[in-house]
């Protein structure tokens, strides 16, 4: 048997599957461990539910990778401290490389007083909820009629889309610490909600903050024109929801009633300060109240510290010592500050490396770069293993002893077929089982002999 490398990829989102793709093409044995039963990460559980073509296209590509003979998918497994397997246990099994593409599973807070009141939510939890990720799908995520959403990126757009089309709230108030020139959403994404935007009120809001914009050389009039130019091809509204913006306003406090239910937000006026090519918001100490009954923070994510890699301030630490290579190896290498050395053979990519950075294409490219770095490492630092198959089996046996419900690609084919049939029965574009138990019941039933035709 020829010597091979065993590569373990932790996290089957766009970044991890990009690594699995390239590493398996190079002939290595690739084991993919994934927290969710299904692969895809935020491509499955983040992208807005009505983007069927995008999601379907991505799924098709992922199936192709995961059904290769040298790719071994094990879902329903968490790596980390207190989870099924720790990083140290994985290292002890001596894979040639361990790639962490676990995404950014922690939520970022901006430390606002009162942010634990009832009616305060984090955007990613809402996103997981409306995309039916088990664990989030069944919680009610009750919203009132006047919802403040903090942030102005693509995730804010998806939250506003959900609030208007599904929750059908009366008003969505977008609260932005900086100004309209610093909006972060993709102009194409805003089409999903631009029909709800109250354009008269937007004009008044830009006039309100015009002097503060002009103080840093921005023209409110031009920015308003640019924004409006993006409001083309707006999707048809599905409700009467109206959407308003509040710029140069920083949340100071969540206001709540005696039962600790949200009643509003205290916002501090800000001004802009130029910092190199960027701008920062500086508090002006004057405040105003925005009445609302729910608040959603859409201010980005941080990684899950419990994974157990060196961590600081919301991110996993990478090697600060730059190399001359392109892509630069150091950016992908996990690094231990205490010993001042890289963790040999441990790499990071995608949102686990740079939380909330970019769309699927960016995560995929990050996986490609990471694969180049891993390939360089394999060529210089580790001999291939004579017993790659044995190593993989040892890993699977250890995992099976910790998680009896390991889910493999074959199981997912059965599940996928059942979901397809259920979707047809209900005459809906897509059906998803919303709970792990329901998915596992289908898989167990199939294993017990009640075979479902295995086509996709």
Q: Which is nearer to ligand FAD, 10 or 65 (CB)?
A: 10
Taking the complex as a whole, the smallest distance from the CB of residue 441 to ligand FAD amounts, in Å, to: 20
Cα–Cα nearest to 18, from 64, 87, 54? 64
Would you list the DSSP string of 255-308? Answer: EE-TT-BEEEEEEEEEEEEEETTEEEEEEEEEEEEEE-SEEEE-S-EE--GGG-
Q: Does 16 bind ligand FAD (CB under 6 A)?
A: yes
From the number of C-beta atoms within 10 Å of its C-beta (0-12, 13-18, 19+), residue 19 rates as buried
Q: Which is nearer to ligand FAD, 13 or 119 (CB)?
A: 13
Cα–Cα nearest to 36, from 390, 411, 397, 308? 411
Q: Are 84 and 78 in contact (CB under 8 A)?
A: yes
Quick one: which H or E segment has residue 341?
strand 341-348
Taking the complex as a whole, the smallest distance from the CB of residue 15 to ligand FAD amounts, in Å, to: 3
136-155 b/e (C-beta count within 10 Å ≥ 16 → b): bbeeebebbebbbbbbbbbb
Taking the complex as a whole, the smallest distance from the CB of residue 355 to ligand FAD amounts, in Å, to: 9
Q: Does 158 bind ligand FAD (CB under 6 A)?
A: yes
Q: Are 227 and 218 in contact (CB under 8 A)?
A: no
Taking the complex as a whole, the smallest distance from the CB of residue 13 to ligand FAD amounts, in Å, to: 2
Choices 162-170, 214-222, 350-358, 395-403 (CB under 6 A): range interacting with ligand FAD: 350-358
Q: Does 439 bind ligand FAD (CB under 6 A)?
A: no
Taking the complex as a whole, the smallest distance from the CB of residue 446 to ligand FAD amounts, in Å, to: 22
Taking the complex as a whole, the smallest distance from the CB of residue 323 to ligand FAD amounts, in Å, to: 22
Q: Does 137 bind ligand FAD (CB under 6 A)?
A: no
Residues 6+ apart with CB under 8 A from 305: 106, 311
Site for ligand FAD in 84-113 (CB under 6 A): 101-103, 105
Binding residue for ligand FAD, selected from 351, 369, 377, 433, defined by CB under 6 A: 351
Taking the complex as a whole, the smallest distance from the CB of residue 157 to ligand FAD amounts, in Å, to: 9
Task: Tell whether the torsion through CA atoms of 286, 290, 294 and 297 is positive or negative.
Answer: negative
Would you list the DSSP string of 105-124? Answer: -EEP----BTTTSBTEEEHH
Binding residue for ligand FAD, selected from 172, 360, 374, 378, defined by CB under 6 A: 360
Q: Does 205 bind ligand FAD (CB under 6 A)?
A: no
Structure tokens at 87: 């990083």
Q: Does 10 bind ligand FAD (CB under 6 A)?
A: yes
Binding residue for ligand FAD, selected from 13, 49, 114, 300, defined by CB under 6 A: 13
Phi then psi dihedrals of residue 176, to 5 deg: -130, 125
Q: Which is nearer to ligand FAD, 127 or 206 (CB)?
A: 127
Q: CA 368 from chain center: how many Å?
A: 18
Size of the site for ligand FAD (CB under 6 A): 38
Q: Are 245 and 303 in contact (CB under 8 A)?
A: no
Q: Does 157 bind ligand FAD (CB under 6 A)?
A: no
Choices 7-15, 163-171, 261-269, 322-330 (CB under 6 A): range interacting with ligand FAD: 7-15
Q: Does 303 bind ligand FAD (CB under 6 A)?
A: no
Structure tokens at 314: 């919301």
Choices 34-42, 61-69, 325-333, 428-436 (CB under 6 A): range interacting with ligand FAD: 34-42
Q: How far apart are CA 172 and CA 106, in angstroms?
A: 25
Structure tokens at 440: 């596992």
Q: Does 206 bind ligand FAD (CB under 6 A)?
A: no
Site for ligand FAD in 236-275 (CB under 6 A): none
Q: Does 359 bind ligand FAD (CB under 6 A)?
A: yes
Q: Does 442 bind ligand FAD (CB under 6 A)?
A: no
Binding site for ligand FAD (CB under 6 A): 10-16, 33-36, 41-43, 46-48, 51, 78-80, 83, 101-103, 105, 127, 155, 158, 304, 307, 350-351, 358-360, 362-363
């Amino acid at each position: 048997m020829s010597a091979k490398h065993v590569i373990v990829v932790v996290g089957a989102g766009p970044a991890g599957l990009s690594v699995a793709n390239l590493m398996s093409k190079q002939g290595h044995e690739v084991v993919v461990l994934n927290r969710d039963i299904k692969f895809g990460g935020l491509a499955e559980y983040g992208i807005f539910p009505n983007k069927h073509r995008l999601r379907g296209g991505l799924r098709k590509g992922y199936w192709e990778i995961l059904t290769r003979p040298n790719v071994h998918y094990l879902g329903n497994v968490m790596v980390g401290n207190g989870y099924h397997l720790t990083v140290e246990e994985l290292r002890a099994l001596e894979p040639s490389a361990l790639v962490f593409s676990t995404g950014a599973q922690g939520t970022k807070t901006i430390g606002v007083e009162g942010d634990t009141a009832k009616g305060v939510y984090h955007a990613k939890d809402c996103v997981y909820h409306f995309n039916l990720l088990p664990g989030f799908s069944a919680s009610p995520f009750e919203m009132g009629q006047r919802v403040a959403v903090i942030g102005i990126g693509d995730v804010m757009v998806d939250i506003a889309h959900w609030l208007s089309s599904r929750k059908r709230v009366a008003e969505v108030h977008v609260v932005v610490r900086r100004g309209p020139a610093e909006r972060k959403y993709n102009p194409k994404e805003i089409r999903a909600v631009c029909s709800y935007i109250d354009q008269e009120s937007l004009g008044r809001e830009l006039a309100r903050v015009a002097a503060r914009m002009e103080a840093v050389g921005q023209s409110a009039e031009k920015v308003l024109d640019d924004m409006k130019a993006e409001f083309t091809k707006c999707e048809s509204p599905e409700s009467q929801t109206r959407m308003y913006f509040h710029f140069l306003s920083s949340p100071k406090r969540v206001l709540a009633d005696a039962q600790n239910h949200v009643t509003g937000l205290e916002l501090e006026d800000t001004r802009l300060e130029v910092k190199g090519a960027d701008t920062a918001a500086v508090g002006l100490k004057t405040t105003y109240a925005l009445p609302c009954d729910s608040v959603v923070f859409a201010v980005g994510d941080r990684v899950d510290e419990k994974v157990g890699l060196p961590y600081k301030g919301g991110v996993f630490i990478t090697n600060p010592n730059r190399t001359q290579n392109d892509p630069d190896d150091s950016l992908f290498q996990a690094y231990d500050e205490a010993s001042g050395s890289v963790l040999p053979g441990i790499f990071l990519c995608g949102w686990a490396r740079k939380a909330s950075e970019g769309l699927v294409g960016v995560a995929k490219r990050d996986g490609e770069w990471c694969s180049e770095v891993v390939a360089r490492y394999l060529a210089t630092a580790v001999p291939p293993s004579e017993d790659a198959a044995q190593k993989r089996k040892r890993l699977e046996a250890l995992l099976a002893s910790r998680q009896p419900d390991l889910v493999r690609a074959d199981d997912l084919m059965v599940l996928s077929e059942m979901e397809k049939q259920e979707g047809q029965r209900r005459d809906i574009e897509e059906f998803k089982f919303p709970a792990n138990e329901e998915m596992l019941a289908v898989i167990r039933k199939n294993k017990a002999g009640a075979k479902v035709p295995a086509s996709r």
